[in-house]
Homo-oligomer: A and B are copies of this chain.
Amino acid sequence: MQETRLDLARIRAARRLIDPVFLDTPLYRCEALESDLGCAVSIKLETANPVRSFKARGTEVITSLLADIRSTAVVCASAGNLGQALAWSGRGRGLDVTVVASRFAPAIKLDRIRALEAKLELVDGDFEEARERAVAIARHDGIRLVEDSLDLETCEGAGTIGLELVATEPAFDAVLIALGGGAMATGIGQVLKACAPEVEVICVQPKGAPAMTRSWRERRVVTTDSTDTIADGVAGRRPIPAVLDDLLLLADDAVLVEESSIVAGMRLLLDRADLVVEPSAALGIAAILEDRDRFAGRHVATIVCGSNVDPAAYHRWVGAASH
């Protein structure tokens, strides 16, 4: 395998920096999903923790290292979950945390960031504008900027999910990973390629936010002018070149799914698995729904990566019809 920026030994080392409350998350086969999906499905559940997403695996690594060098402040741009995770991890280590987010981010994510005592700054634009503003704050204040997916700690933290996936027997035939900036896909992908190369690594992105998938397919950075998806957690427009380079070496496929499939995936996870999830966490199920033949008879694992969702929006999407 060609070299990526990632390294298995560093991912193993990252694991030791993470609060155990975020590690060894449930991984279980969910048979009740299987008649709908036509394949064996295992859930890796990253929502039963204090910040309800996988993002704290990365922020634990970053803030541990910052505490070691006696840093006092840190800033990030966030679609919501990274900010909440950084706020949680930073609070426990005495760091002043600033989060920059779009004012259009789900209110529940913004409220939970505030509740964790972080300073929250809102920008009028989308996540890409928040990124620019976070860069400016970091420069002005001379503090550490956390850049999701670009900063190796974010990928390495997510990569610890991969360590847990390969620790179980039997191995899966494929792992379906929500694709946004690429931290989760490259982190987990690195571990799978190193430890279980027979497992297919499939990234899933909404058709309404396809920049990274298009970039992967064309093997060059492709940006978009806008996004249009309910999966707010993965709605980036400007892939990071270094992350794309890694993804080109680690992903076996990248697929795009319809909004209606994301909603159908959320509904299935509610009705069959009793799980309330945010749209990004249903991308893997959506991908199976759109291509049952591809997965028929195989054993697929998917990462349920977050459950920070506005109740009103959730109800609008998933509705009462299924009840």
- Chain A, interface size category, equals 35 or more
A48 and B48 form a contact (CB under 8 A): yes
B320 and A315 form a contact (CB under 8 A): yes
Binding site for B on A (CB under 8 A): 21, 24-32, 43, 45, 47-50, 52, 112, 115-116, 270-271, 274-277, 307-309, 311-312, 314-315, 320, 322-323
A274 and B112 form a contact (CB under 8 A): no
Among residues of B, the one whose C-beta sits closest to the C-beta of A30 is B50
Residues of chain B with a CB closer than 8 A to A26's CB: 21, 25-26, 48-49
Q: A27-B21, A28-B50 are contacts. A315–B323 as well, Cβ < 8 Å?
A: yes
A48 to B320 CA separation, bound complex (whole angstroms): 23
CB distance from A124 to the nearest CB of B (A): 27
A100 to B314 CA separation, bound complex (whole angstroms): 37
Residues of chain B with a CB closer than 8 A to A312's CB: 323
Residues of chain B with a CB closer than 8 A to A43's CB: 48
CB distance from A281 to the nearest CB of B (A): 10
A28 to B49 CA separation, bound complex (whole angstroms): 6
- Pairs across A and B, CB under 8 Å, 19 listed: A21-B27, A21-B28, A26-B26, A28-B49, A28-B50, A29-B50, A30-B50, A31-B50, A31-B115, A32-B112, A32-B115, A43-B48, A47-B274, A274-B277, A274-B308, A274-B309, A276-B276, A312-B323, A314-B323
Q: A25-B26, A48-B45 are contacts. A274–B276 as well, Cβ < 8 Å?
A: yes
Residues of chain B with a CB closer than 8 A to A322's CB: 311
CB distance from A216 to the nearest CB of B (A): 31
A285 to B8 CA separation, bound complex (whole angstroms): 42
A270 to B28 CA separation, bound complex (whole angstroms): 22
Among residues of B, the one whose C-beta sits closest to the C-beta of A267 is B311
Residues of chain B with a CB closer than 8 A to A276's CB: 270, 274-276
Residues of chain B with a CB closer than 8 A to A25's CB: 26
**Most B C-beta atoms less than 10 A away, residue of A29, A47, A307:** A47
CB distance from A164 to the nearest CB of B (A): 12
A24 to B27 CA separation, bound complex (whole angstroms): 11
Residues of chain B with a CB closer than 8 A to A308's CB: 274
A271 to B24 CA separation, bound complex (whole angstroms): 25
A271 and B311 form a contact (CB under 8 A): yes
Q: A275-B276, A276-B276, A314-B323 are contacts. A24–B21 as well, Cβ < 8 Å?
A: no
A228 to B307 CA separation, bound complex (whole angstroms): 34
CB distance from A318 to the nearest CB of B (A): 10
Among residues of B, the one whose C-beta sits closest to the C-beta of A50 is B28
CB distance from A111 to the nearest CB of B (A): 9
Among residues of B, the one whose C-beta sits closest to the C-beta of A319 is B320
